Amino acid sequence: MGYFAFPPTSNSSSSAQPVDMGLAEAWFPYDTSSGQSRARSVEEEDGGKAEQQTDEERLRRLERERELGESSEIEWVRAGGVLRDAFGRRDKARTESIRVELKLQEQERRKMERWESYEGGWRRVNASTEPLVFADFPWPLPDRIMDRDLSRLDRQSVTDFLFESLSVRSNTTTTKERIRSSLLRWHPDKMSRVLNRVIPDDEELVREGIHVVFGTLKALQDAERTGQSVI
């Protein structure tokens, strides 16, 4: 009969063997406290981003509400109404401020309409092949010259028209750029192609008008180059 061999039982009163801390630490290669700290940092960072986004959204909402409120006030004053403050009293200062703004907007709108009409006139002239008369030309003036009077093309009138739209708040064109583009347009050599389409009875008058405008533009360019006021 065979026998089983059992290891000897240890004495329960014997002291416990020391644990190899190097082996124990091998099972936990990361510092759990720093990991928790990093986790908290990520959570705080995410929370900060969320809070920042919330603040930005709130600011955008407030800005939209402000714009909507201002738009409502402007329309109310435009219709002849008077604004009131939080206590129901007439807000004369705010009402007058909006009236001034509305007047300025109307002035700017008219300036831009005149300039767009001028530019549109030149687009039509350049796109057409039809014969031209003096009145067909988009002369640099607020109104068309119907009486064939070249004296209306004086320097001050031409200057006022060319530069008035530059005062519009949304404008990005400089005085120098406006002078340069106008010189290119009104240069006699450049205008020869258009001049060839003018009817014989008006050809000399149109040619003279072109030279008058170009002379004004050259004088404005010289003044601008020497630092003189051109407006």
Residue with tokens 């258009």: 194
Residues 229, 163 contacting (CB under 8 angstroms)? no
Task: State pLDDT tens for residues 32-54.
Answer: 445 555 555 555 566 566 666 68
List residues bridging with 90 in a β-sheet: 84
Is the pTM here over 0.85, yes or no?
no
Q: Where are the domains of the chain?
A: 49-100, 107-226
Residue with tokens 């009409």: 117
Closest CA to 157 of 173, 169, 145: 145
- CA 113 to centroid of chain Cα atoms: 20
Output the tens digit of pLDDT for each of the chain's 231 residues.
443 444 444 444 444 444 444 433 333 343 444 555 555 555 556 656 666 668 787 777 767 666 666 788 999 999 999 999 999 999 999 999 999 999 999 999 999 999 999 999 999 999 999 999 999 999 999 998 888 999 999 999 999 999 999 999 999 999 999 999 999 999 999 999 999 999 999 999 999 999 999 999 999 999 999 988 887
Length of the chain: 231
113-140 pLDDT tens trace: 999 999 999 999 999 999 999 999 999 9
Classify burial at 54, counting beta carbons within 10 Å of its beta carbon; exposed 0-12, middle 13-18, buried 19 or more. exposed
